[in-house]
Amino acid sequence: MNTTNLGFLFLADNSTVILFAVIALIVGIVGGVAIGWILKNISFNKKQGSIEKITEKMLEDAREESKTIKKEAILEAKEQEIRLRSDFERESKEKRAEFARTENRLNQKEESLEKKEENLNRRNEETTRQQNALKEKQGELDKKLQDIAEQHDKMIAEFEKIAQMSKEEAKKQLVDSIVDEARKDAAGTVKNIEAEAKEEGERKAKEIVSLAIQKCSTEQASEITVSVVPLPSDDMKARIIGREGRNIRTLENATGIELIIDDTPEVVIVSGFDPVRRETAKIALEKLIQDGRIHPARIEETVEKVKKELEQQIKEAGESAMFECGIFGLHPEIIKLLGRLKFRTSYGQNVLKHSLEVSHLAGLMATELGVDVQLAKRAGLLHDLGKAVDFEVEGTHMQIGGDLAKKYRENNSVVNAILAHHGDVEPKTIEAVLVQAADAISGARPGARRETTTNYVKRLQQLEGIANEFKGVDKSYAIQAGREIRVMVKPEQINDAQTMFLAKDIAKKIEQEMEYPGQIKVNVIREWRATEFAK
Count of structural domains, the chain: 4
**Does 346 map to a domain?**
yes
Residue 367 pLDDT more than 50? yes
The answer to which of 50-54, 125-129, 250-254, 492-496 has the lowest mean pLDDT is: 50-54
Residue 6 pLDDT more than 50? no
What is the DSSP secondary structure assignment for residue 424, as one 8-state letter? S
**d(C-alpha 149, C-alpha 32), whole Å:** 159
**d(C-alpha 399, C-alpha 387), whole Å:** 10
Is the domain of 5 the same as that of 85?
Answer: yes
Per-residue pLDDT, averaged over 441-463, amounts to 69
CB 269 within 8 A of CB 226: yes
* Dihedral sign (CA 379, 400, 511, 484): positive
**Does 65 map to a domain?**
yes
Q: Of 444, 476, 506, which marks where a domain is finished?
A: 444
Is the domain of 464 the same as that of 415?
Answer: no
Q: Which comes out higher in pLDDT, residue 451 or 410?
A: 410
**Does 349 map to a domain?**
yes
Is the domain of 264 the same as that of 380?
Answer: yes
Is the domain of 387 the same as that of 522?
Answer: no
Q: Residues 6 or more apart from 479 whose CB is under 8 A from it?
A: 485, 486
Q: Supply the CATH number for residue 371's domain.
A: 1.10.3210
**d(C-alpha 395, C-alpha 112), whole Å:** 88
The answer to which of 69-78, 221-230, 476-485, 523-532 has the lowest mean pLDDT is: 221-230
**Does 143 map to a domain?**
no
**d(C-alpha 278, C-alpha 268), whole Å:** 13
Query: 18-34, pLDDT tens digit by residue?
Result: 766 677 778 778 767 76
Phi, psi of 411 (to 5 degrees): -55, 145
Q: Supply the CATH number for residue 493's domain.
A: 3.30.300.20
Query: Does pTM surpass 0.75?
Result: no
Q: For the residues of 339-381, what is the DSSP string, one character each?
A: HHGGG-EETTEEHHHHHHHHHHHHHHHHHHHTS-HHHHHHHHH
Sheet strand arrangement including 473-479: 473-479, 484-489, 521-526
Is the domain of 421 the same as that of 483?
Answer: no
Render the burial of 201-222: b for 16+ CB within 10 Å, e for the rest.
eeeeeeebbeebbeebeeeebe
Is the domain of 492 the same as that of 374?
Answer: no
What is the DSSP secondary structure assignment for residue 404, as one 8-state letter? H
**Does 147 map to a domain?**
no
Any long-range contacts for 456-462 (C-beta under 8 Å, 24+ apart)?
456/481, 456/482, 459/514, 459/516, 462/513, 462/514
Query: 389-438, pLDDT tens digit by residue?
Result: 887 788 888 899 999 999 988 889 999 999 998 888 888 899 999 998 88
Is the domain of 409 the same as that of 504?
Answer: no
Residues composing the chain:
535
Query: 198-238, pLDDT tens digit by residue?
Result: 667 666 665 665 555 544 544 443 445 667 788 888 778 88
Is the domain of 399 the same as that of 273?
Answer: yes
Is the domain of 61 the same as that of 171?
Answer: no
Instruction: Write down the pLDDT at residue 421.
Output: 86
**Does 33 map to a domain?**
yes
Q: Of 391, 424, 444, which marks where a domain is finished?
A: 444
Instruction: Write down the pLDDT at residue 325.
Output: 87
Chain mean position to CA 176 = 48
pLDDT band at 164 (very low <50, low <70, confident <90, very high): low
Render the burial of 378-412: b for 16+ CB within 10 Å, e for the rest.
bbbbbbbbbbbbbeeeeeebbbbbbbbbeebebee
- Please state, for a pLDDT cut of 90, what percent of the chain lies above it: 7
Residue 139 pLDDT more than 60? yes
**Does 211 map to a domain?**
no
Residue 4 pLDDT more than 50? no
Phi, psi of 298 (to 5 degrees): -65, -35
**Does 75 map to a domain?**
yes
Q: Of 414, 444, 474, which marks where a domain is finished?
A: 444
Q: What is the mean pLDDT of the chain?
A: 79
| CA max distance for the chain | 233
Is the domain of 240 the same as that of 285?
Answer: yes
**d(C-alpha 417, C-alpha 519), whole Å:** 20
CB 435 within 8 A of CB 354: no
Is the domain of 432 the same as that of 459?
Answer: no
Is the domain of 426 the same as that of 308?
Answer: yes
**d(C-alpha 197, C-alpha 205), whole Å:** 12
Range of the domain at 174: 165-206
**Helix/strand/coil for 524:** strand
